[in-house]
Structure 1
Amino acid sequence: MSHIEIEVARYAGVCYGVERALGMAEKAAVEARKPVNTLGPLIHNPLVVNDLESIGVGTASSVSEVEEGTLIIRAHGVVPSVVEDARTRGLDVLDATCPYVKKVHNAAERLVREGYQLIVVGESGHPEVEGIMGHAGDDAHVVSVPGDLDAIDLSRKVGVVVQTTQTPGALADVVAELSKRTMDLRVINTICSATQERQDSAAELAHRVDAMIVVGGKNSGNTRRLAEICTAACPKTHHIEDASEIEPAWFDGVSHIGVTAGASTPASHIERALVRMRSLLES
């Protein structure tokens, strides 16, 4: 099977916000004289979280679990009250919230301040969405599909922001329905350009190959969406978290394999997948 071509998507793997957060955590671990913990997983990639633990960066599920030292706010961001609570407890707060997520926070606050009924297009319960809702106050609703709008009073002007890792299609579907229901609609497209680039390049590649490998955390929303996009174009799509999951049977009858990875997937994880694939194909 050595004649099989392997091609990596033009845009794949770790984005600026994740790279920045990882760098901040690693630097804190090196410089710290007291415990260093992240509030929840720094990013949605269990392998990376394990790597951080190996250098002394722990994971706390709540502020109350951390008695001293540094608390790192993860890339997804949190509600403002969490930061206030941590500082009140005397913790050193290191804010690794992605700058693009902060833009969503600012946009949500501005729309609410200007009197808009806020709609957040995103995944209910996702840490990023919870953080956005915390900045929006009580008068906001999370919508993932147009049908979710049925339970919302849309009698006044409506403002929209988007979870950074959502697809343009998901936003367009909700906006199209809102356009039918309200005369005063303001949409601030806060989808991250890195997310868009990865989705577009993954879709382009998936249309040209016989099989796709999507590398990244199974708990990563943006990686799962990449897998969905690839599956729509290439039914032989496999979402893996670790290179060891790759099976040789996936490549039977295949001549061209595409590889992409979520924005929380370091380059080293992609390389491990490539090494395993090449090894399997040469055996």
Structure 2
Amino acid sequence: MALTIEVARHAGVCYGVERALTLAAEAARESRGPVRTLGPLIHNPLVVSELEHAGVTVADRVEEVDAGTVIIRAHGVVPQVVDRAERLGLTVLDATCPYVKKVHMAAEKLVREGYQLIVVGESGHPEVEGIMGHADERARVVSTPADLDAIELSRKVGVVVQTTQTVGALSSIVSALLSRTSELRVINTICAATQERQDSAAELAARVDVMIVVGGKNSGNTRRLAQICQMGCAHTHHIEDSSELEASWFTGVEHIGVTAGASTPAAHIDRAVEKIRALTEAR
């Protein structure tokens, strides 16, 4: 049987990342002054390096920028960051993913209506920090049901979710909350694109001999894809760049699956597929 390479039906950049990359490319071409992103635009080191070559560099803090344009990363920021940038006279280009903005609005709504906010997500993740900036001092971040044990819960609890979380993670925490509060309001803010990529990856991983996941190792959604694939295919490898692929991974296999995180451009997927072909064509 001939070797086949199959790319997951849903893989690679989502709408929010595509939009952020387009805005950054336009700023690089059209802005007269320097262009900086506040933190990495997306969680993909290769893309960040490509942007730097195009003239879009990274600043960790607004205070590091004294002129020109600052781009708000796709993950969003706390409102105070935008305020500081505008007070400094900088041109602010907001590349926050529209779906992340929906989480901000949902968090503000729940807080305004008197709910104690629980954010299901990764503590310290830039998206989660941005969400917390739209909440109040009672808001808490949880990633597992066990995290709830350290929180004094109110009678009214509201829940939002980091856009790249899994339905399973949300469900387990909601189940734990049901017996601990008298009123629970859940707004499912998981991005549809995330769910599509996870479902496609799981379906493909169950059918192949080897699974390759392409994307930043600092990307939460890509790491989750790798974890999902690992459950269906023991021979799963998470790479950032095609140069990491090894011929030994494909010895004796007939069906290779490829997927990629929502911050992985199509060109990076294509390079991985081409490298796999090159490594296996002599067999």
TM over 0.5: yes
Q: 2-side partners of 1:161 and 1:253: how far apart?
A: 45
Q: Could you state the TM-score of these two structures normalised by the residue count of structure 2? A: 0.99
Q: Secondary structure at the match of 1:123?
A: coil
Q: Secondary structure at the match of 2:57?
A: strand
Shift of 1:183: 1.9
The residue identity in structure 1 corresponding to 2:24 is A
The answer on 1:139 being equivalent to 2:142 is no
Trace 1:73-152 onto structure 2 (pairs within 5 A): 73-152=72-151
The residue identity in structure 1 corresponding to 2:74 is A
Shift of 1:138: 1.4
The answer on 1:278 being equivalent to 2:282 is no
Cross-structure match for 1:59: 58
Cross-structure match for 1:179: 178
Q: Give the 4+ runs in structure 1 shifted more than 2 A.
A: none
Cross-structure match for 1:162: 161
Q: 2-side partners of 1:139 and 1:21: how far apart?
A: 31
Cross-structure match for 1:72: 71
Cross-structure match for 1:216: 215
Shift of 1:8: 0.4
The residue identity in structure 1 corresponding to 2:63 is S
The residue identity in structure 2 corresponding to 1:195 is T
The residue identity in structure 2 corresponding to 1:244 is S
Q: Is there any run of 5+ residues in structure 1 with no aligned partner, and where?
A: none
Please list the CA deviations of residues 59-118 of structure 1 after superposition, one character each: whole Å capped at 9, or x if unmatched. Answer: 000001000000000000000000000000000000000000000000000000100010
How many residues are treated as equivalent by the alignment?
A: 282
Cross-structure match for 1:30: 29
Shift of 1:137: 2.2
Q: 2-side partners of 1:180 and 1:280: how far apart?
A: 54
Q: 1-side partners of 2:4 and 2:219: how far apart?
A: 28
**More displaced 10-residue stretch of structure 1: 117-126 or 251-260:** 251-260
Q: Secondary structure at the match of 2:158?
A: strand
Trace 1:36-55 onto structure 2 (pairs within 5 A): 36-55=35-54
Trace 1:222-261 onto structure 2 (pairs within 5 A): 222-261=221-260
Q: Secondary structure at the match of 2:200?
A: helix
Q: 1-side partners of 2:129 and 2:123: how far apart?
A: 8
Q: Could you state the TM-score of these two structures normalised by the residue count of structure 1? A: 0.99
Q: 2-side partners of 1:156 and 1:89: how far apart?
A: 42
Q: 2-side partners of 1:243 and 1:192: how far apart?
A: 27
Q: 1-side partners of 2:169 and 2:154: how far apart?
A: 23
The residue identity in structure 1 corresponding to 2:220 is G
Shift of 1:180: 1.6
Please list the CA deviations of residues 118-167 of structure 1 after superposition, one character each: whole Å capped at 9, or x if unmatched. Answer: 00000000000000001112120000000000011123110000000000
Q: 2-side partners of 1:114 and 1:124: how far apart?
A: 24
The residue identity in structure 1 corresponding to 2:255 is H
The residue identity in structure 2 corresponding to 1:250 is W
Shift of 1:54: 0.7
The answer on 1:19 being equivalent to 2:18 is yes
Please list the CA deviations of residues 31-84 of structure 1 after superposition, one character each: whole Å capped at 9, or x if unmatched. Answer: 011000000000000000011111110100000100000000000000000000
The residue identity in structure 1 corresponding to 2:184 is L
Q: Secondary structure at the match of 1:136?
A: coil
Q: 2-side partners of 1:8 and 1:158: how far apart?
A: 41
The residue identity in structure 2 corresponding to 1:173 is S
Q: 2-side partners of 1:243 and 1:15: how far apart?
A: 20
Q: 2-side partners of 1:57 and 1:265: how far apart?
A: 18
Q: Secondary structure at the match of 1:257?
A: strand
Q: Secondary structure at the match of 2:179?
A: helix
Shift of 1:185: 0.4
Q: 1-side partners of 2:112 and 2:86: how far apart?
A: 26
The residue identity in structure 2 corresponding to 1:47 is L
